[in-house]
Amino acid sequence: MKKILIIEDDLSIAKLQKDYLEMAGYEVTLSTDGISGLNSLKENQYDLLILDIMLPHLDGFDILRIIRDEKAIPVLLVSARKEEADKIMGLGLGADDYITKPFSLGELVARVNSHIQNYERLRNKFGDKTPSNIITIRGLEIQKDSRRVFLNGKEIFLAQKEFELLLLLAQNPNRVFGREELFERIWGLDALGDISTVTVHIARLRDKLESTPSNPQYIETVWGAGYRFKI
């Protein structure tokens, strides 16, 4: 049974989410403030996190900053705030999805299912430990089995979608991917998401991998077409 942590200070909303997710077959844990939620994340293993932004003691953005390079799980941000800046910030900090209140509980379950299934599919696909599961290009080493990345011998910590995006591009060097195709291949949510997510994650990858992000040596922008991994 897959385990989900909900960090939500509105207990009535949290209980509704919990009930629907349990009916869908998940084991669900609730935390109603940022600090207890963070402690639960550190002490337990979960398959997905549903994270409210506005929380007492420690907000959702702060939690993302603390755990994103440590926990390779999908993170679904939930907020009543509809400003684009909040969405961009959340995605930029490593969230995999952003849903605005009020939303249907059926949609929530659909998004949860999609993220967990996509994560499991990719983990199973690249889970064997053969030598071919290591990609090495100009000082960049991508280990598919352990989902670890090293740059010039130093480990670079990537969020789940960042790793999947990098792996897809690196496995198809010099091929140009449009934002729509990358979104469909990595997120698999079609109408449930926003392709601007791709741009945010590319920027985060460049910040982590490139010595000069404005002049990338790995992930190149092909203006008017998309992105490609330079070989």
Render 50-95 in DSSP notation, one character per residue.
EEESS-SSS-HHHHHHHHTTT--S-EEEEES---HHHHHHHHHTT-
When pLDDT is averaged across residues 150-168 and rounded to a whole number, the result is 91
**For residue range 2-53, what is the model confidence (pLDDT) as tens digits?**
999 999 999 999 999 999 999 999 999 999 999 999 999 988 989 999 999 9
> Where are the domain boundaries for CATH 1.10.10.10 in the chain?
129-229
What is the architecture of the domain spanning 129-229? Orthogonal Bundle (1.10)
| 193 band by pLDDT with thresholds 50, 70 and 90 | low
> Where are the domain boundaries for CATH 3.40.50.2300 in the chain?
3-124
Strand duo 148-151 + 140-143: pairing: antiparallel
Give how far the C-alpha of residue 216 lies from the chain's centroid of Cα atoms, to the nearest Å. Answer: 22
Q: Is 40 exposed, middle or buried (0-12, 13-18, 19+ CB in 10 A)?
A: middle
What is residue 151's three-state secondary structure?
strand
CATH superfamily of 3-124: Response regulator (3.40.50.2300)
Q: Is 209 exposed, middle or buried (0-12, 13-18, 19+ CB in 10 A)?
A: buried
Token digits of residue 133: 């599961």
DSSP-assigned beta bridge partners for residue 4: 28, 48
Phi-psi region of 57 (alpha: psi -120 to 50; beta: other; left: phi over 0): left
Give the pLDDT of residue 90: 82
Give the pLDDT of residue 2: 92
pTM of the model: 0.60
| 130 band by pLDDT with thresholds 50, 70 and 90 | very low
Give the pLDDT of residue 113: 92
